Structure 1
Amino acid sequence: MSQPERNALFYAFIVSIGGFIFGLDIMLISGTFQYTTVEFGLSAIEKGNIAAAPNYGALLALLVAGYFCERFGRKKTLMIIAGLYVVSAIGSAFAPSYFWLFFARLIGGLAFTSLSLASMYIGEIAPAKMRGKLVGLNQLNIVFGILAATILNYYLVQTVGTQSEWASSIGLNEGNVWRWMLGLEILPALIWLALLTIIPESPRWLMLNNKKQQSLDVIKKLVPAAEVDAEYQQIKQHLNTTEHSLSYIEQIKCLFSKSMRLALLIGVFMAIIQSLSGMNAILAFMPMIFQQVGGGDSAFLQSIWVSLIGTVFTVLALVLIDKLGRRKILLGGLFTCVVSLSLVAYGFFNAVYLIESSTIEQLALTHPQFNSQLLQPMLDQAFYSDIEFKAAVINLIGQSQFSLLETDLLLLTTDMPGELVLLGIITFVCAYNFSLGPILWILFSEIFPTKVRAVAITSSALVATIFGGIIVPTFFPWQIENLGASLTFFAYAGFCIVGLAIMAKITPETKGKTIEEIEDLISIENDDSPAKHSSIKQANSFN
């Protein structure tokens, strides 16, 4: 690897640390629900709001992120984002109420724009032959963050369970273990903020803002000496004054022009399909899903294994993304998501819930404060729906008591093909991390011309936030309680089928092409002339 390539890798890695913090954030919160539900008396919708709160913040931030990127540059905007992560983590760890926790996490959501800005920045500094791998670092760090969070959550829960002396000495107990989970985000956020001071500004943004010498200086760090002049001239040619000196409003108008039609369709549909696959809901509520299966305390351990296997497949995707290409990986991944989600849905469809005398005896031992005899009317009565079973239990003991017993009760009463559900979830996470996860950000970094890049990427990320960050995780607990797990996962499989059909129709292959070459390719595909199809065959592979 040459020195310029090492520089590009180093800068891309620093920027992608924001993905690690994002992964930490969405997974750390998953371990807190069994504690915050009791402490704050959370309803299903309130739990969904806590999970989705950062995405409400991201929704607000993405409305102005494009302006900040254009006005102040990619680097300064990323540094602001890192600072917001620090503030959010501190506020979440010390939250005294549901509303405080909601708003602290909402502030962190302002920083979720780091995902779209990272793909923008890395796409602008990466050599064409490395761009897939380097932009994919964003997704790799996300899954590393998820893995780290699952391990930390499990470790903290186990530590509290053993009631060790050192835990007591630092005030770590069952009453505040969730605060430790959320507070762990503070340190990496501070480290990221410090490291961002090292990276250079994007050479394309510098050129766009008529800082030609500074742009040339950065290009020299990223391109071999013999190719510096050619790279500089190519960027300069595509960022000429008449075409690319557009105001923020003009960029928005340009984004909706005929020439941008295909790029916009790809960005928007990719964002929607990735979101409606249900991955964000599965991550945010993974321990709850495994509790539904009957995982008990092992739900946290199962989450670790799922996250670890998903991480391996993300690494595999980065190895193969610039060899196999984006299109094949995306379509193959969507097909696998359909199959795996169907397995999960089928597993829940065949579940049976039954309270036996041994169940009541065990609950009396593990929860002596609870009058387990209240469950006697349901003794030996089989339920074939999780909705009906939970409703019957709540009718007997009340919602607050059910929240305290839910984990152990599901563990003791559920008879289902749990291995099938676990296999389905693992397969889905692997397929997602190999395809939908990294491909989204790679395509975002490639398909939009520099003249509208800031507006286009943040707008597409806005769509992803609305669907994947707000709608899906907010309503997932409600879906589980009111539609049941089986129907919920069948719905996600259905969305993946629709996504497979749409993306097979509109997604081009962009591997190995420079940003400027992809801009020309998209222009060809927007061309309505009779020569369109032959031009596409020469310029792009659709297989």
Structure 2
Amino acid sequence: MSSPTRNAFLYSLIVAFGGFVFGLDIVLISGTIKAITSEFGLTALEVGSIVSGPGWGALVGLICTSYFSDKFGRKNTTLVIAALYTLSAIGSAYAPSATFLFWARFLGGLAFASLSLASMYIGEIAPPKSRGKLVGLNQLNIVIGIFIAQILNYYIINGTEQGAAWTLSLGLNAENAWRWMLGAEIIPALLWFSALFIVPESPRWLALNGKEEKAKAALAKITEPEKLDQEINEIVHSLNDTDHHTLSLAQQFKLLFSSKMRIALIIGVVITIIQPMTGMNAVLAYMPTIFAQLGGSESSAFGQTVMVGGIGLFFTVLALVFIDKLGRRPILLGGLTWAIISLAVVALGFFNATYMLTAESLVTLKESMDVNLLQSLLNTEFSSDVDFKQAIENKIGREQLVAYESSIMTAATTINGLMVLLGIISFQCAYNFSLGPVVWILLSEVFTTKVRAVAIPLCGFVASVFGGIIVPLFFPWQLENMGAVSTFSVYLVCCFIGLIFAYKVIPETKNKTIEQIELELAGK
């Protein structure tokens, strides 16, 4: 590996490490849901508000990202984002109230702009032949962060349940475990902030702002010497048709919405809607809650979550191996088809489930709760998880249902749990092999340098509306009011719509420069 190639990999890896922190952030909260619901007395929508808090912050952050990344550069904006992640993690860990926790997570949401910035920056420094792999590092870091968060949640939950010596030595118990989970983000955020000082500014941003000598110097670190003059000339030439050194954000938006950019904009917006609407954000944030629907202890639910995360990580690595060989389009089409089949399996598993309290199950529950109020439901079979939990809540109240839901579902559920588990594993593999990395790679490729500072954050804004707010906010409500079957069926339909769109609209972009892709899309 040549020195420029090593440098491009190193800089991409550092910038993409923000994805690791993001992955921690979206999954660590999953281990706290039961605890914060009980501690702060939250309803389903209030739980959804806290989980989706970063999504609201992301809306503000992504609006500002366009201005700051264009005005002050990709690197400096990313440094600010890393600092925001750190402050958010500290505030979340010490939150004295649900409102404080929401705003601490909102602050972290401002930092979610790191995903769009990473795609923007890496797309601008990566050689065409390896751009897919390097931009894909963003998704790889997200998945690694998710996996590590799942492991942390599992060991903290399991340790507090078993009264392990290491938890006692740290003063960690069932009451404060959720604070340790959220506080685990502090150290990685600080490490990322420190490492970013190694990264140079994007040569394309420097050229965009009339700093051609600095752009050439930055490009020399990541480009083979014999290709340096040709590449800097291509970059400068692509910028010469408009005097965008003086373009305002409003003018850039006007250019973005012009007929020349129409296909690129449609691809960017639609694909960033489809990605979260497949339901993966909800599956990640609420995976232990989903597994609790299958029956099993809280600890086993977190253990299953770790297993799913590990398998998903493997398929993300596999995607990066093949993304520049097979191409974006075949992987995306195949992955969406795979996701449709997987979600159908999950929905079918829940469709065939039944829920019934028996004399034996009441004996099991008697060890942890007063079962006298449940006697009237004895041997009454329910085919809907919604109806069953509503009947339980009517008998014992919401507070008791929240506290003992896992135990009750374990005692009462008859379901092909292996079928649902395999369906969720398969869905995560499909997503991590296709939609997860491919969407961010496409965003880094389809937008020309002239509008990238507004286009990629705009698409990130759209992704945050759906993935950061709508999906996680309403998922607890969906499970509570629609049930698991209808909820996963909605996600299946969204995958099908995405498959049709990808087949008809999205072109292949592998092994092409950003400038070549711009000309191809403009000609459609």
Q: Classify the TM-score, shorter chain.
A: over 0.9
Sequence identity (%):
55
Q: 2:311 matched to 1:309?
A: yes
Describe the shift of the 1:375–1:307 C-alpha distance in structure 2 as closer, same or farther (beyond 3 A).
same
The answer to whether the 8 A contact 1:45-1:477 is kept is: yes
The answer to whether the 8 A contact 1:82-1:189 is kept is: yes
1:373 counterpart letter in structure 2: N
Describe the shift of the 1:428–1:166 C-alpha distance in structure 2 as closer, same or farther (beyond 3 A).
closer
Deviations 1:295-338 (A, max 9, x none): 32211000001000000000000000000000010011111111
Show structure 1 runs of 5+ residues with no match.
526-543
Q: Which position in structure 1 is the counterpart of 2:400?
A: 401
Indicate the SS of the match to 1:222: coil
Q: Which position in structure 2 is the counterpart of 1:374?
A: 373
Structure 2 Cα separation of the partners of residues 63 and 521 of structure 1: 28
Deviations 1:158-211 (A, max 9, x none): 111222344223220000000000000000000000000100000000011111
Deviates more, 1:154-163 or 1:179-188: 154-163
Q: Which position in structure 1 is the counterpart of 2:464?
A: 465
Structure 1 Cα separation of the partners of residues 48 and 344 of structure 2: 23
Aligned pairs (5 A) from 1:115-264:
115-240=115-240, 242-245=242-245, 246-264=247-265
Deviates more, 1:125-134 or 1:246-255: 246-255
2:260 counterpart letter in structure 1: S
Q: Which position in structure 2 is the counterpart of 1:348?
A: 350
Deviations 1:81-101 (A, max 9, x none): 000000000000001111011
Structure 2 Cα separation of the partners of residues 94 and 491 of structure 1: 37
Q: Which position in structure 2 is the counterpart of 1:328?
A: 330
Q: Which position in structure 1 is the counterpart of 2:100?
A: 100
2:178 counterpart letter in structure 1: W
Deviations 1:119-138 (A, max 9, x none): 00000000000100000000
The answer to whether the 8 A contact 1:203-1:215 is kept is: yes
Describe the shift of the 1:68–1:397 C-alpha distance in structure 2 as closer, same or farther (beyond 3 A).
same
1:516 counterpart letter in structure 2: E
Indicate the SS of the match to 1:450: coil
Indicate the SS of the match to 1:96: coil
Structure 2 Cα separation of the partners of residues 163 and 373 of structure 1: 29
Q: 2:35 matched to 1:56?
A: no
Q: Which position in structure 1 is the counterpart of 2:42?
A: 42
Q: Which position in structure 2 is the counterpart of 1:535?
A: none
1:206 counterpart letter in structure 2: L
Aligned pairs (5 A) from 1:78-89:
78-89=78-89
Indicate the SS of the match to 1:314: helix
The answer to whether the 8 A contact 1:55-1:106 is kept is: yes
Structure 1 Cα separation of the partners of residues 167 and 484 of structure 2: 36
Structure 2 Cα separation of the partners of residues 280 and 90 of structure 1: 23
How far is the alpha carbon of 1:244 from its aligned partner?
Answer: 3.1
Deviations 1:468-493 (A, max 9, x none): 11101100000000001001101110
Q: 2:518 matched to 1:519?
A: yes
Structure 1 Cα separation of the partners of residues 516 and 496 of structure 2: 31
How far is the alpha carbon of 1:243 from its aligned partner?
Answer: 4.6
Q: 2:430 matched to 1:428?
A: no
2:49 counterpart letter in structure 1: N
Indicate the SS of the match to 2:511: coil
Q: Which position in structure 2 is the counterpart of 1:295?
A: 296
Q: Which position in structure 2 is the counterpart of 1:387?
A: 386
Aligned length in residues:
522
TM-score, length-scaled by structure 1: 0.95
The answer to whether the 8 A contact 1:37-1:47 is kept is: yes
Indicate the SS of the match to 1:382: coil
Indicate the SS of the match to 1:383: coil
Structure 1 Cα separation of the partners of residues 383 and 311 of structure 2: 31
Q: Which position in structure 2 is the counterpart of 1:357?
A: 359
Q: Which position in structure 1 is the counterpart of 2:272?
A: 271
Structure 1 Cα separation of the partners of residues 296 and 119 of structure 2: 37
Structure 2 Cα separation of the partners of residues 488 and 241 of structure 1: 49
Structure 2 Cα separation of the partners of residues 117 and 172 of structure 1: 36
Indicate the SS of the match to 1:489: helix
How far is the alpha carbon of 1:411 from its aligned partner?
Answer: 1.0
Structure 2 Cα separation of the partners of residues 115 and 166 of structure 1: 35
